[in-house]
Amino acid sequence: MIILGFESSCDDTGVSIFCSNRGVVINLVNNQSLIHKDYGGVVPELASRDHLNKISFLTNKAFEKSGLSFSDIDAVAYTIGPGLSGSLLIGSSFAQTAAWSMNIPAIPIHHLEGHLLSPLISNAKLEFPFISLLVSGGHTQLMAVNKIGDYNVIGETLDDAAGEAFDKIARLMGLDYCNGAEIAKLAVNGDPDVFQIPRPMFNSPSLDFSFSGLKTAAMIRIKELQSKEMFDHIARANIAASVQKSIIDILIHKSYLAVKRTGIKTIVVAGGVSANNLLRVTMLDSLKSLSCKVYFPPLELSTDNAAMISFAAYLRLKHNLINMNSLKYNLSVKPRWNLKDVNSIY
């Protein structure tokens, strides 16, 4: 089975082709960071326009590079939500039209289900049940995953997501690209112990998270250093290292508690923040004492991409989790959609 996938929930346009006997054949992503960098966040109107500009070009390129053609495709998959409505509508319209023109099914996929299942792409040994730590720009959740489509939230952020904290602090620091990857790069040369950045809710037995106080504490520190003209490259690296360490300490500690509390000894980390190298290394190390297996998606599939969308559609088809009769050609999207209700559209 060969599935053409589209992702356009925020500021990445993704096109992929997944083949059941070859895996991810092609995965193309166009990131819009440079378009939004002067506005302090993603501008929805600009994001939609850029998806529109890039999606057909990327689709043609995917076919050109893979050597496949439209007639080889058995189904089209696309992100239906959650995300920015305008951006989602570009992907859904394009995917539905492509599927309609070829008379094949168009399968809507929940963006977070795509992230959550992405570690299965490269880890055939990964078995259910597992704990999922989903850490992206919009979400921070711990879930007990019993099987595909059976997701129980056991902890989540009460305010900002972990990725959002990274992004907002990167912006306060005046970094070119406002994201966690830039903080991680700066942190390589920093000392995490020079500045104390708090770890909210670290000592609470709850599996919930909170990152807004951490962000405010970092902001106060940065402003103080700036006002004293002490925000030089060493201080910047030290702030980056402290912020990164605090966020990661919280994520790891709560994951540790989740494993202990549920007795589930497999943990899967997914979403954009899972690209963080320190998180990967420390998570593996910290959960060793619980004899816990830890899985991540391949690095290039950690941040938003369409391969995870076509792969999730493949898994749903393979496990008969889609009622084909209920999938009408329908252009509506789901900008807000809780993962626990994921089965409602199938």
Please report, for residues 22, 213, 236, the alpha-carbon distance to residue 206 in angstroms, rounded to integers and kept in the order given. 42, 17, 32
Look up residue 111 and give its two tokens: 């963006």
Give 300 or 341: the residue with its C-beta nearer to ligand KG4. 300
Give 115 or 245: the residue with its C-beta nearer to Zn ion. 115
Residue 333 site contact among Zn ion, ligand KG4, none (CB < 5 to 8 Å, cut-off depends on kind):
none
Verify binding: residue 118, Zn ion, rule CB under 5 A: no
Residue 133 site contact among ligand KG4, Zn ion, none (CB < 5 to 8 Å, cut-off depends on kind):
none
Q: Which residues of the shown chain bind ligand KG4 in the complex (CB under 6 A)? A: 10, 115, 136-138, 163, 166-167, 179-181, 184, 271-273, 275-276, 303-304
Render the burial of 55-69: b for 16+ CB within 10 Å, e for the rest: beebbeebbeebebe
Q: Characterize the bridge pairing of strands 130-135 and 12-19.
A: unpaired
Report the candidate in 75, 105, 94, 69 with the shortest Cα–Cα distance to residue 13: 94
Which positions from 124 to 143 touch Zn ion by CB under 5 A, shown as an x/- string? ------------x-------
Q: Is 136 annotated as a binding residue?
A: yes
Rg of the Cα atoms in the chain:
20
DSSP string, 272-330: GGGG-HHHHHHHHHHTGGGT-EEE---GGGTSS-SHHHHHHHHHHHHTT---GGG----
Residue 197 site contact among Zn ion, ligand KG4, none (CB < 5 to 8 Å, cut-off depends on kind):
none
Stretch that binds Zn ion, among 80-88, 142-150, 299-307, 321-329 (CB under 5 A): 299-307
CA gap 203, 207 in Å, rounded: 10
Cβ neighbours around 99 below 10 Å, total: 21
Binding residue for Zn ion (CB under 5 A) from 66, 119, 304, 310? 304
Query: Closest separation between CB of residue 183 and ligand KG4, Å?
Result: 7
Query: Closest separation between CB of residue 134 and ligand KG4, Å?
Result: 9
Give 86 or 180: the residue with its C-beta nearer to ligand KG4. 180
SS3 call for 106? strand
Cβ neighbours around 162 below 10 Å, total: 28
Query: Closest separation between CB of residue 330 and ligand KG4, Å?
Result: 23
Give 66 or 132: the residue with its C-beta nearer to ligand KG4. 132
Q: Is 83 annotated as a binding residue?
A: no
| Eight-state DSSP code of residue 194 | S
Give 190 or 272: the residue with its C-beta nearer to ligand KG4. 272
Annotation: binding site: 111, 115, 134-138, 167, 180, 276, 304
Task: Give contact residues for Zn ion (rule: CB under 5 A).
Answer: 136, 304
Binding-site residue numbers for substrate are 134-138, 167, 180, 276
